[in-house]
Structures are given as C-alpha cells and as structure tokens.
Chain A
C-alpha cells in the first residue's frame, strides 16, 4: 500500500484517503455540451506516467490535497500547488 504525502499529517497509508480521481477543471455550465460534461464525469485519461490527482484525507486532517503520481511506479510527490 502506497504512502500518500499529506502536507498536514506527513506520509500516511493510502487507505486513510479517498481517491478523488485525476484533477480536472469543471466545464463551464452554460457552454458545456453533454459530450464535454460526460467526458468530465466519466472519462479518465489514465496516462502512463505522471498524473495529477486529488486525494481527500478522510481518516486524517480531512483536507483535500493534490499530488502527482507516476502511474507506472506509484511514485508520489506533492504538487507544487497541492
């Protein structure tokens, strides 16, 4: 089980967190087409390499954090603005 680097609590077991999926901007409500909205809801890019993700420390500080994770190795680092 990977350790997630929480900036508030330090490295903690991933099971303390809820994975929030790849971080992506919510489309504009007025101009979004159903296609765009559903891509936002359901389609994950799932790249092989570094991916920006939201994690929620539900069994800890209850803060949302943004980390970068290498999907090939599970190496993680806190995003610059995480």
Chain B
C-alpha cells in the first residue's frame, strides 16, 4: 500500500492509511474495490464507505441541502450528515455506517453537474432568498406558480434516486418482520450494555442486546490498551451466555405502551431490513452519549470534525484524517484525540483548551478548512479542526417511556429524571452519568439485576392473569423482592460550550444556522417548538441527535431564558430511520377461495378481487352469461355470502332488534328479506334470513358485511341482552354456495335434488328447505335470488362444493347450463333493480333513502337505528334511490357521474350503470333529490368527459319484470 508510507520528498504527511492499529476493524488481507462517482477506489473489508474514501484522500462527500456547500466528515458514523450517498439503486445510504463491498457503485447525492463544481452553490451568495421560513415566505404568492415552485424546489432536495417500482425492493432483497418476547432488552452494546446483558443473562433472563454499530463495544473500541482488554473480556462474557441474543447493525427505534419495542435490523443475509416487534418485560436503555458539534463560523467546512470522528478514523480504520490539526478540547476525549493524532503522525499545530477559557472563533477555507482563528486572535494554518465540546444524551427511548430528562448546567447535558421513569424501563451508562469503565460496569450490573427481578415479577403477573393456564404449564418465576443496591454514577462536570462569538451551522442536514434561529426568534417564533417548525431545525435526517441541544442553547441565549425554561422539542419514534419496506414487511395478503376455485380457473374465469375473496368476474362474455340466465339456466358461485347459524328460543327477538322489519311471525320453512341499520339509521347490511326449524335460523349477509354483522350480533347479545338465549355460529365457509338461476332452473334442480318437493305450490318463492343435492345430504335450499329469475340458492357442506357444482354442470348440459360470474350477476340485479349496500348507498344513506320504506316497521318497540328513522320520516329523506334510463339508449353514464338540477347544482349521482343485454339499452340506479325523483322526470347527467346527457326517472326500481312474475313461477 503506497499510502501507508509517507512520501519522503514531501515535508508533510498526507491524509491516508496508517500502519496497523491495535483496535482496527479492517481486514488488510481482504482488499475491496468499489467506485465513487465513476472512479475506482480501494478499501478493506471492515471499512465503511466513508473510511475507505477518507483513506484515499477524499475530503468532500456531498453538497448541503439548501446552499449546496461542500461537506465532509463530521461524526464518521451513522449520524454523519455530510455523507449520505447513493449505493447502486439505493438512495440515502449512511456512508459513515455502511460497510464497503466489492463492486459497490457509490455516488454522491444532490450534486449537479458534479461534486466539485456545484452550480447550485450560488445559493450561498443568494442566501437572503433562503432565509428561515423561506418555504412560507418566498413561494406563497402567486399560487398559480406553485407547480413551478415545486419543480424548482425539488431540484434542491437532497435525496437519491429511488429504485423503480416493482423491482422487488432494493437490490432484489426482501423485507421481513419478526415477533419476539424477551425478558430484558438492552438498547446499546457499549461497556454498560454488554455488562448489563451478561449480568441479566446470568440470572436466567432471556436477553436481547441491540447495538447500532456492526460490532459490540461502543467507545472501548477506539480506546487505549486497557480499554481493548476490557472490551475483549466483556465480549467474552456476552458470548458465554446462551441466553443473550445479540443483534448488531440494529437499533431500538421506538418504545410504546407496555414495553412494545420496534427494533430495526439491517443488512441481514437476503433481508434488507427486518422489523422486530418485541414485547420486552423490561428495557435497559444504554445508548451512551453522542458528541455535540460546536457552532462557529465555518463549522461545516470539510476538515472540521468531532473528536470521536477522529478517534474512530485513526483507531478503527487506521486513517490519518489530516496533515496539520488544531484541536479544541474541553474533556478527556478531546485530549485523547490529540494523542491519537500525534501517534498518527499528524502535526498538532495548536491545542485550544476550552477549560482554560480559550476557544475557536472561525474557520476559513474554500473547499475545506485552511485556517482557524482563535479567541486569542491567533490565526493558524491547518487542514483539520477537531472539536470536543461536550455530549448529548440520546434520551429518545426515555422520553418515549414518559420520562422528562432534566438539564443539568454543571454537566452541560440533559439527564434522566429517575422520578418519572416507569418501572419497566431502566437506564445505565453514559446516559446516566460518567465514570471509569469499572464504575460503568458496576452500575450496569446492578441495573441489570433490578431489571431481571422486575422482568421475573412481570412474567409472574402475566402468567397469573391467564385463567386458562394449564396445570402442566411451566412454573412461573419466583422473583426476589428485595431491592437492588445501585451504585451512584454521577455525571462529571463539563463547561457549557454551545456557540462561539460567531454564527455557524446548527443543523447540518437542513442547513439551518444559529443566525437563522435568532432571526426566527426576532420574528416572534420564540418557543422551541415554533422555532423548529419555522426553520426546520432538527427536522432533517439526524432528527435532532446532533443539533437539538445547540438549538435549545441558542434559543435560550436569544430569549434570555435558561436551558431548562426553554426545554426541548419532543422526541418521537422512530429514533432511527426505517424504510417503508421494513414497516410493510413481507407481502402477507391472505386471500380466500371457494372450493370451486380450481374449476373456475380451468374454465377461463377472469379473477376479481372482492375484499379478501378471489371470485370469477366472468368466463369470457358477461352479456352472453346474462342472456343464458334470462332464457335458460346458469349457475354462479356465491360462497362468499355471509352465513350465520342462529339457534335458540330468542332468535326472533334478536332479528326484530337487528332488522328494520318484523320477524315474530316467520313460519318454519319461510324466508324473509331484511335490512339492517346502524344506530345512526344508515343502512349497514341486507340479506335474507330463513327459519329452518322451531329454534333454528340461517341468516345471510352481504359478502363484504359478513364479519361486521357477526360482531354486530355479538355486540347486541353480549352488551344489551345477555339474558337472551341465542347461540351464534358463523358458517360462511362451512358451506359452499351456488345460485341456480333461470327459467329452466327447476328442471335442472329436479334432476339432482332428493328429499324436497320442488313443485311450485310445495316449495314456493321465499321458502327454505333442507335436503340432498347430487347425493350430498344436509344441503340448504332457498327459493330466492338476486337475478329476478326463478332461482334456487343452495348451501352445500363446503367439502362437497365442487362435486355439486360439477354435477349441476353435467346434469344441465342438454339444458345449456352456463356458469356466470359476478359481472353478469351485477347486470342481472341492476336490470331487476336490486340495490347493493355500499354501492347504491353510502355511509350517509339512511333506510328511507334506500327505497325500503315498505320494510321499515316503526311500530316495533325497538330496533337498531329506530329513532333516526323516525326523524328521517318526519323530515323526509334528502335523497331517494331511483331507477333511471338515459334518453340516448346507447350511452352508459359512468358510476358516480353527477346528476344536475335545473339550476346546474348537483342534485344527485349515478350509483350503478350498465348496458342491459336484455333491454338493449343503458340502465342506471341513482340517488336523487326527492323534487326530481317523480317518475317521468327528465334530469341532466354530467359525464366524466364533460358532456351532459338526459335521463328519465322511471317508475319503481326494476328495469326488467317490474311485476316480479318471473321469480315467482
């Protein structure tokens, strides 16, 4: 490697790869080749995209969001706002986190025409047009120009190219979901997290240890020899416990009620992202601390880095991050960075000790820092400025648990409020306080003991709350009730350092400067939540982790309030970005088929998705299917029709309550049509119910209403009338249902039915019988139908559905029997004028607007929706269901076409429309104002293309056979 040896002719070392480091995570035996903006680069396995590029001297990684300023590495980890990149077809990849792979195609985002020369950087000069709230101010008026504004703004958005739809996810990988029920989840795999996981597992708890980085260890990984020894020891302790499941490259992204946790796992084999939904008995929050950037002029120049970024680059990736450095330090981590830099051969030109009151005023340079000006007035040439000015406690999971962290000025950070922590959430590590590694481990071990005891108590409480728990179930844990003694982990003193005497960037993702915040406050947006929304500070990809505390400090300074009085913005889930793919998971869309589905497929049925059901829409020619039913006989698979078996002496009472009509006098063997309303009087479902025996009824519902009606029935029985003796069994899929329709249906049925007299006077219209069909016993036969023809609806025990279907087709061959699909049935029912709930009615259509006035019995004491229907009748309906026929027989107005009144106002709409094969003309149903609903009235219908046509309201709803003679034969 040429870069590992300094060029002897050069007076200075160059940025690049160092000799092997004791804690490095790269595998030098495994070189990796990838491209960056078209040019080939090399790295090692274990490198992140950012570290590999930094090792080959890349300094500018992206252009900023608003001003298109050049940006380099700031944190060199997942949060780094400067290195979101495009990898192949995947946008917005965190370059500081994603590991390089052979053949990876990496490019910078949001740059045109190139990273080096970005024309949009002109915004830096025209910054006054992009002042805070620029979305709100600049582009408000005139509104006509909004489409143009959107186009212009879109060019400035920093986002990559989203993969083509339907390509099966990023790089063809899948997304996945998983459920888990661990005792203890530990969020964060640093020293405290590892120690906590090991201690909890030793007590017998099942532990899930979740770490955002690619390996466990946290800050120990870039520490000294002692830290590395501790790291090896803690990793060995974790590995020795089989009860610990370690998830690396994963993050607890949300905590919800009762410790329901969302955990995002990334980069699994063949799985791009997996969402784990874990119900943890206790949660230990141990995320450590995030280093906070410093606000000063030029703080976003490439070459300005946090001390942890430098320590990562040197110790984990053996990368020399610069040649000549200035280090601003206020803490031991900054001091250690100085040592790291010296060891890496970087010339440390100045160490500015913030604890002594010195600071950095500004950094200057063109495409990167070249000079730093100090508060002493000194100006120092350098290509690297390192800041170590303090820490942000990532308290998100605690806030989501109901805690309200409190700002402590002496430590210059927010700390959890132990009083407000729920019992099942605990915290350890840097988020609680500071200490030696030994002290962190001791605290974490004690916290884990408490967490394990509470988890055991929780497991016991849950187990005892399950009444059906068997005697042979495993014994419940016997938790130790004595409280655990937790040693104090006190936060160390730290100077408060947020902003220098100059203004600089607060939010690097959203390009929001401290000056922007001050201006927003001067304009009156003086609360932290208003400042956030007005300036978009903390709303970018870093989501406040780097910028929230600086924002609070600057708002506090500008308003003269304290940090505590200013408060923070709300931390909400998700803590870390989650792809929509992970939220969606695998495609698990359950579908339902009738037992006859294979026959339909073999006979050319076009499938129709109807809710969960897949049904035959037609078998080639729906109009021919209609004609066959009107002239001969057809059969249709109506299995999805909802069916409830109701038994008991009080069923008639129940029906009286559920339906608007009366049921007390329904004789055995009789069937009645009923309409159900919700308590607001809106039509909810309809169907027929038959009385099969003294105490036995079969209720049918619409296909889509089957589940709702079942719950509706249970609702009434359980909450209002628990005294009624009614037993409800859903039997929708226990039967296959076939409707045999057409003038020759009796002839066909007679060939297959036994045990039932089919003669018209023995088995008349609206009657029900049980008998056998094609040798299958226990079939239910109804003389009803939706088509207006003589028809029989047959419910067959489901496993015999196909047999009966095939028998009907075979026995009816000489009668010309045809199968018909949903489309033919829709035409047939529209010809007959039967409405469909949800098609010809909507969520506001009450019963008196549905042409079922004849069925509504207001003299009943009670039924669902009665008061609203009383009032609807008193006031008269606002719309009525009517049948319409366009004057031009050939024009079928679209469903949902508007019906206009004389003055041009909307007076109704077409709800169903088709070309009738029977009449050879267009036919419709519609909802219409009563003033226009008189038969014979001509109304105007506006088509989708803007043309107006005339249509006539006809008498009744039936276009075909209004007298109903065909179905009664």
Enumerate chain A interface residues (CB-CB to B < 8 A): 1-3, 5, 7-11, 13-14, 18, 20, 26, 29, 32, 34, 37, 41, 54, 56, 58, 62-64, 73-74
Number of B interface residues at 8 Å Cβ cutoff, please give it: 26
Given A11-B465, A74-B257, do A64 and B866 touch, yes or no (CB 8 Å)? Answer: no
Is B862 a contact partner of A10 (Cβ separation < 8 A)? Answer: no
Is A58 a contact partner of B258 (Cβ separation < 8 A)? Answer: no
Is A26 a contact partner of B720 (Cβ separation < 8 A)? Answer: yes
Taking the complex as formed, is B867 at the interface, i.e. its CB lies under 8 A from any CB of chain A? yes
Inter-chain contacts of A11 with B (CB < 8 A)? 462, 465-466
Inter-chain contacts of B711 with A (CB < 8 A)? 18, 56, 58
**Minimum C-beta distance from B266 to chain A (A):** 23
Taking the complex as formed, is B679 at the interface, i.e. its CB lies under 8 A from any CB of chain A? yes
- Rounded to whole angstroms, the CA-CA distance of A37 and B866 in the bound complex is 11
- Rounded to whole angstroms, the CA-CA distance of A58 and B258 in the bound complex is 21
Taking the complex as formed, is B260 at the interface, i.e. its CB lies under 8 A from any CB of chain A? yes
Is B258 a contact partner of A2 (Cβ separation < 8 A)? Answer: yes
Taking the complex as formed, is B335 at the interface, i.e. its CB lies under 8 A from any CB of chain A? no
Taking the complex as formed, is B719 at the interface, i.e. its CB lies under 8 A from any CB of chain A? yes
Q: Which of A3, A56, A64 is in CB contact (< 8 Å) with B258? A: A3
Is B260 a contact partner of A64 (Cβ separation < 8 A)? Answer: no
Inter-chain contacts of B868 with A (CB < 8 A)? 37
Given A10-B466, A10-B467, A56-B715, do A1 and B260 touch, yes or no (CB 8 Å)? Answer: yes
The chain B residue with its CB closest to the CB of A72 is B402
With A10-B469, A64-B714 known, 5 other A-B pairs at CB within 8 A are A1-B260, A9-B467, A14-B257, A29-B867, A64-B718
Is A5 a contact partner of B465 (Cβ separation < 8 A)? Answer: yes
State the 9 A-B residue pairs at the shortest beta-carbon distance, nearest first.
Answer: A10-B466, A2-B257, A1-B260, A64-B718, A3-B258, A10-B465, A74-B257, A37-B867, A64-B719
Inter-chain contacts of A73 with B (CB < 8 A)? 402
Is B467 a contact partner of A54 (Cβ separation < 8 A)? Answer: no
Given A2-B258, A41-B680, do A56 and B714 touch, yes or no (CB 8 Å)? Answer: yes
- Rounded to whole angstroms, the CA-CA distance of A1 and B277 in the bound complex is 10
- In the complex, number of A-B residue pairs with CB atoms less than 8 Å apart: 57
Taking the complex as formed, is B871 at the interface, i.e. its CB lies under 8 A from any CB of chain A? yes
The chain B residue with its CB closest to the CB of A1 is B260
Taking the complex as formed, is B146 at the interface, i.e. its CB lies under 8 A from any CB of chain A? no
**Minimum C-beta distance from A70 to chain B (A):** 11
Q: Which of B462, B466, B718, B866 is in CB contact (< 8 Å) with A63? A: B718
Is B871 a contact partner of A34 (Cβ separation < 8 A)? Answer: yes
**Minimum C-beta distance from B714 to chain A (A):** 6
Taking the complex as formed, is B468 at the interface, i.e. its CB lies under 8 A from any CB of chain A? yes
Q: Which of B279, B462, B715, B866 is in CB contact (< 8 Å) with A29? A: B866
Inter-chain contacts of A14 with B (CB < 8 A)? 257
The chain B residue with its CB closest to the CB of A8 is B467
Inter-chain contacts of A1 with B (CB < 8 A)? 256-258, 260
**Minimum C-beta distance from B159 to chain A (A):** 31
Contact with A along B711-735 (1 / 0, CB 8 A): 1001100111000000000000000
Is A54 a contact partner of B258 (Cβ separation < 8 A)? Answer: no
- Rounded to whole angstroms, the CA-CA distance of A74 and B260 in the bound complex is 13
CB neighbors of A among B254-296 (8 A): 256-258, 260, 279
- Rounded to whole angstroms, the CA-CA distance of A68 and B866 in the bound complex is 30
13 chain-A/chain-B pairs, Cβ below 8 angstroms? A2-B256, A10-B467, A11-B462, A18-B711, A20-B715, A34-B871, A37-B867, A54-B719, A56-B711, A56-B714, A58-B711, A64-B718, A74-B257
The chain B residue with its CB closest to the CB of A36 is B867
Is A7 a contact partner of B467 (Cβ separation < 8 A)? Answer: yes
**Minimum C-beta distance from B410 to chain A (A):** 32
Contact with A along B688-720 (1 / 0, CB 8 A): 000000000000000000000001001100111
**Minimum C-beta distance from B648 to chain A (A):** 17
Inter-chain contacts of B256 with A (CB < 8 A)? 1-2
Inter-chain contacts of B719 with A (CB < 8 A)? 54, 64
Is A29 a contact partner of B862 (Cβ separation < 8 A)? Answer: yes
The chain B residue with its CB closest to the CB of A58 is B711
Given A41-B680, A58-B711, A64-B715, do A9 and B468 touch, yes or no (CB 8 Å)? Answer: yes
- Rounded to whole angstroms, the CA-CA distance of A3 and B256 in the bound complex is 11
Is A62 a contact partner of B462 (Cβ separation < 8 A)? Answer: no
**Minimum C-beta distance from A65 to chain B (A):** 9
The chain B residue with its CB closest to the CB of A27 is B867
Inter-chain contacts of B714 with A (CB < 8 A)? 56, 62, 64
CB neighbors of A among B219-264 (8 A): 256-258, 260
Inter-chain contacts of B260 with A (CB < 8 A)? 1-2, 13
- Rounded to whole angstroms, the CA-CA distance of A29 and B260 in the bound complex is 43
- Rounded to whole angstroms, the CA-CA distance of A14 and B256 in the bound complex is 12
**Minimum C-beta distance from B848 to chain A (A):** 15
- Rounded to whole angstroms, the CA-CA distance of A62 and B715 in the bound complex is 10
Inter-chain contacts of B279 with A (CB < 8 A)? 13
- Rounded to whole angstroms, the CA-CA distance of A54 and B258 in the bound complex is 20
Is B462 a contact partner of A10 (Cβ separation < 8 A)? Answer: yes
- Rounded to whole angstroms, the CA-CA distance of A63 and B728 in the bound complex is 13
**Minimum C-beta distance from A20 to chain B (A):** 8
Inter-chain contacts of B258 with A (CB < 8 A)? 1-3, 74
Given A2-B257, A34-B871, do A41 and B679 touch, yes or no (CB 8 Å)? Answer: yes
- Rounded to whole angstroms, the CA-CA distance of A9 and B465 in the bound complex is 8
**Minimum C-beta distance from A13 to chain B (A):** 8
Inter-chain contacts of B867 with A (CB < 8 A)? 29, 32, 34, 37
Inter-chain contacts of B861 with A (CB < 8 A)? 29
- Rounded to whole angstroms, the CA-CA distance of A7 and B468 in the bound complex is 10
The chain A residue with its CB closest to the CB of B257 is A2
Inter-chain contacts of A54 with B (CB < 8 A)? 719
Inter-chain contacts of A10 with B (CB < 8 A)? 462, 465-469
- Rounded to whole angstroms, the CA-CA distance of A67 and B399 in the bound complex is 27
- Rounded to whole angstroms, the CA-CA distance of A37 and B718 in the bound complex is 21
- Rounded to whole angstroms, the CA-CA distance of A10 and B466 in the bound complex is 4
**Minimum C-beta distance from A29 to chain B (A):** 6
**Minimum C-beta distance from A80 to chain B (A):** 16
Inter-chain contacts of A32 with B (CB < 8 A)? 867
Inter-chain contacts of B862 with A (CB < 8 A)? 29
**Minimum C-beta distance from B49 to chain A (A):** 36
Contact with A along B862-906 (1 / 0, CB 8 A): 100011100100000000000000000000000000000000000
- Rounded to whole angstroms, the CA-CA distance of A34 and B256 in the bound complex is 40
Inter-chain contacts of A9 with B (CB < 8 A)? 466-468
- Rounded to whole angstroms, the CA-CA distance of A70 and B467 in the bound complex is 24
Inter-chain contacts of B462 with A (CB < 8 A)? 10-11
Inter-chain contacts of A29 with B (CB < 8 A)? 861-862, 866-867
- Rounded to whole angstroms, the CA-CA distance of A74 and B469 in the bound complex is 26
- Rounded to whole angstroms, the CA-CA distance of A74 and B871 in the bound complex is 39
The chain B residue with its CB closest to the CB of A7 is B467
- Rounded to whole angstroms, the CA-CA distance of A61 and B24 in the bound complex is 56
Inter-chain contacts of A58 with B (CB < 8 A)? 711
- Rounded to whole angstroms, the CA-CA distance of A3 and B466 in the bound complex is 13
**Minimum C-beta distance from A17 to chain B (A):** 11
**Minimum C-beta distance from A54 to chain B (A):** 7
**Minimum C-beta distance from B209 to chain A (A):** 23
Inter-chain contacts of B402 with A (CB < 8 A)? 73
Inter-chain contacts of B720 with A (CB < 8 A)? 26
